């Protein structure tokens, strides 16, 4: 009989300690463990059952009092709980997700129950949840890409198109910084045509030759680039720069019939669920899809611009005419009001041109106008818009330029005109105006530049003047 009882107890102990469920018995009054299985002790982070039994399970292992309160309310109301999921803490303070089932034995002042470790299950659920959110986001991105195709192809103004591509790229790819660089055919440099999130000095000063910088290398190689972490990237490894919030970025080349026309740079992906994330292969495919659409739209815009140039250019100087000047100035002032960037206007007048024309004839006068037009195009940037205003007057719209910088440009142009071969001494007067302060309309800006030009004439010609505020 004793042997049978011993065997029974031994079998019970083996079952108790070797089951894959953590078993316990605790007092109702204070939650002190009276008995626990070996698995529960291990689960809670103890080296032995003896060490674990010293504990007060309700006080030591709950992360918050609200959960403990809910648990006890259910226990008291129903006499037990089934499949109660909660997060508790191990002995070392690390979190542990468990599924708890327990019963109250009031006559013995006991709570008996079983605990299953569901931490891995919870982690899998979180991963699945994050993946589902990510998939929904990617689906939304793709739908947006498809929806912008028709709109993009209908934009025929290159500046409008650049703004649209940048805006949609940042929206769809959920990024904080984006720039579109176009190739300057004359200098063979990449210049920033438009951007979001970049410093003004960076916009004005960045000019990359083929192979220079990462964007320049992408331009040479002609393939899109995804970098998840710049600091450990095999090809481009370097210290992350302070102006960027993340170490991940993408660059895609813009090609028209196989010829490079520019690149799009996307950086600083916005956080998801308060956590910074990297760009991934899906993001790169989406960027490439946007860029493919953009390349077709850029080709259309360039073709339209060529046709428009034929109808908006001056036949003598090959500069834009007065009609185009008015249209572009309105556009640039709209951009100024939207993005709060500087904008200046230069107004030029060839000194004593009427006398020169009368002395040497209209053919020589036209040749001189053409020579001045060539100087303007050579000395101004590709983003500047220079036009023949009327007679011997010219104007230049200078985006991203304040009046001080515009004055320097004017002085540089005056210096360049001194090397022109003319039949008699000729000079240039320049008026400068910046769209700021009380200047709120196109008319105000033109009038301000004209007044500054008049001042230059009055003070002796052959100089640059701007009005004081």
What percent of the chain has pLDDT above 70?
89
Most confident of 108-122, 147-161, 439-453: 439-453
Structure confidence at residue 12 (pLDDT): 47
> What residues does 252 pair with on adjacent strands?
264
In this model, does residue 357 exceed pLDDT 50? yes
Read off the pLDDT of residues 191-210 as tens digits, 9 standing for 90 and up: 999 999 988 888 888 889 88
Selecting from 3.10.620.30, 3.30.390.50, 3.30.70.270, 3.50.50.60, what CATH number does the domain 313-466 have? 3.30.70.270
Average confidence (pLDDT) over 2-30: 63
CA-based nearest residue to 108, from 186, 35, 38: 35
Provide the pLDDT for residue 445: 94
Region for 79 from its dihedrals, namely left if φ exceeds 0, alpha if ψ lies in -120 to 50, beta otherwise: left
Cα–Cα distance, 198 to 179 (Å, whole number): 8
Its pTM stands at: 0.49
Question: In terms of C-beta distances under 8 Å and separation of at least 24 residues, what long-range contacts does 400-404 make, across chains too?
Answer: 400/200, 400/203, 400/204, 400/341, 400/342, 400/343, 401/204, 401/342, 401/343, 401/344, 402/342, 402/344, 402/434, 403/344, 403/432, 403/433, 403/434, 403/436, 403/466
pLDDT at residue 52 in the model: 81
- Give the position of tokens 């530049």: 449
**CB-CB contact of 368 with 356 (8 Å):** yes
CATH number of 122-307: 3.40.1050.10, 3.30.499.10, 3.30.450.40, 3.40.309.10? 3.30.450.40
Q: How far is CA 436 from CA 94, 240, 371, 414, in A?
A: 60, 37, 32, 25
Return d(Cα 213, Cα 218) in angstroms, integer.
Answer: 9
**Residue with more model confidence, 362 or 233:** 362
pLDDT top residue among 20 and 361: 361
Cβ-contact 298, 256 below 8 angstroms = yes
**Dist. CA 198–CA 341, nearest whole Å:** 12
Task: Identify the CA nearest to 265 among candidates 341, 213, 188, 200.
Answer: 213
Tell me the pLDDT tens digit for each residue of 233-258: 888 777 767 667 788 999 999 998 88
Question: Residue for token digits 């992350």?
Answer: 240
| Cα–Cα dist 279/260, whole Å | 24
Residue with tokens 């600083």: 268
pLDDT digits (tens, 9 = 90+) for 250-302: 999 999 888 999 999 999 998 876 666 889 998 998 899 899 889 888 888 88
Share of the chain above pLDDT 90, in %: 38
More confident residue, 437 or 430: 430
**Which ranges in the chain are annotated with CATH 3.30.450.20?**
15-117
> Residue 241: which of 291, 297, 199, 290 has the closest Cα?
199
* Residue where the block lists tokens 């006398």: 355
**Antiparallel, parallel or unpaired: β 385-390 and 393-399:** antiparallel
Q: Taking a C-beta distance cutoff of 8 angstroms, is the pair 388, 314 a contact?
A: yes
Average pLDDT of the chain is 85
Residue entry with tokens 């030591």: 60
Q: How confident is the model at residue 61 (pLDDT cuts 50, 70, 90)?
A: low
Q: What is the pLDDT of residue 264?
A: 96
Q: Is the dihedral of CA 332, 333, 334, 338 positive or negative?
A: positive
Whether 39 shows a pLDDT value over 90: the answer reads no
Among 252, 283, 285, CA closest to 175: 283
> Given this model, what pLDDT does residue 427 score?
94
Contacts of 96 (CB under 8 A, 6+ apart): 43, 44, 87, 88, 89, 90, 117, 119
Q: What is the CA radius of gyration of the chain?
A: 37
Q: Flag whether pLDDT at 13 surpasses 70.
A: no
- What pLDDT sits at residue 182? 92
CA dist., res. 130 & res. 136, Å (int): 10
Residues spanned by CATH 3.30.450.40 within the chain?
A: 122-307
Residue 376: pLDDT over 70:
yes
pLDDT at residue 59, as a whole number: 62
- Fold that domain 15-117 belongs to in CATH: Beta-Lactamase (3.30.450)
Per-residue pLDDT at 72? 73
pLDDT value of position 319? 92
More confident residue, 373 or 109: 373
Q: Does residue 408 register a pLDDT over 90?
A: yes
What is the mean predicted confidence (pLDDT) over 312-339? Answer: 89
Whether the per-residue pLDDT at 329 is higher than 50: the answer is: yes
- Which pLDDT does position 8 carry in this prediction? 46
Taking phi first (over 0 means left), then psi (-120 to 50 degrees means alpha), and beta for anything else, what does residue 344 get?
beta
The band of 155, judged by pLDDT with boundaries at 50, 70 and 90, is confident
Distance CA(218)–CA(82), nearest Å, equals 60
- Tell me the catalytic residues: 392
């Amino acid at each position: 009989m004793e042997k049978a009882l011993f065997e029974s107890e031994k079998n019970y102990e083996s079952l108790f300690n070797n089951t894959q469920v953590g078993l316990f018995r605790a007092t109702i009054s204070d939650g002190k463990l009276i008995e626990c299985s070996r698995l529960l002790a291990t689960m809670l982070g103890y080296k032995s059952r003896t060490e674990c039994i010293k504990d007060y399970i309700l006080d030591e292992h709950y992360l918050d009092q609200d959960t403990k309160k809910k648990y006890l309310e259910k226990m008291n109301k129903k006499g037990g709980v089934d499949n109660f999921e909660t997060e508790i803490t191990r002995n070392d303070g690390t979190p542990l997700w468990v599924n708890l089932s327990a019963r109250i034995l009031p006559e013995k002042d006991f709570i008996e129950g079983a605990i299953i470790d569901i931490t891995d299950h919870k982690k899998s659920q979180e991963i699945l949840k994050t993946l589902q959110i990510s998939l929904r986001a990617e689906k939304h991105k793709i739908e947006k890409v498809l929806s912008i195709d028709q709109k993009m192809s209908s934009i025929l103004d290159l500046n409008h198109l650049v703004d649209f591509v940048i805006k949609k790229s940042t929206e769809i790819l959920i990024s904080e910084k984006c720039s579109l660089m176009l190739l300057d055919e004359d200098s063979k440099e990449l210049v920033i045509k438009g951007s979001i999130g970049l410093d003004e000095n960076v916009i004005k000063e960045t000019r990359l030759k083929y192979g220079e910088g990462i964007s320049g290398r992408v331009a040479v190689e002609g393939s899109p680039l995804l970098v998840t972490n710049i600091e450990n990237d095999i090809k481009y490894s370097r210290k992350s720069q302070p102006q960027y919030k993340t170490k991940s970025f993408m660059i895609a080349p813009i090609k028209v019939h196989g010829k490079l026309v520019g690149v799009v740079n996307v950086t600083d992906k916005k956080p998801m669920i308060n956590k910074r994330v990297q760009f991934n292969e899906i993001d790169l495919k989406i960027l490439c899809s946007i860029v493919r659409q953009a390349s077709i739209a850029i080709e259309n815009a360039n073709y339209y611009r060529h046709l428009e140039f034929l109808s908006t250019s001056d036949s003598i100087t090959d500069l834009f005419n007065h009609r185009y000047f008015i249209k572009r100035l309105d556009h640039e002032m709209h951009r100024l009001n939207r993005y709060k960037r500087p904008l200046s206007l230069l107004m030029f007048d060839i000194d004593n041109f009427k006398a020169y024309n009368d002395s040497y004839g209209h053919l020589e006068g036209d040749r001189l106008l053409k020579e001045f037009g060539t100087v303007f195009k050579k000395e101004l940037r590709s983003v500047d818009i220079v036009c023949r205003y009327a007679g011997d007057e010219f104007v230049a719209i200078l985006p991203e330029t304040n009046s001080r910088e515009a004055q320097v440009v004017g002085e540089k142009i005056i210096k360049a005109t001194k090397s022109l071969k003319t039949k008699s001494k000729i000079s240039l007067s320049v008026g400068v105006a910046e769209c700021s302060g009380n200047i709120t309309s196109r008319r105000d800006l033109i009038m301000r530049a004209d007044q500054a030009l008049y001042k230059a004439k009055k003070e002796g010609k052959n100089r640059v003047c701007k009005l004081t505020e």
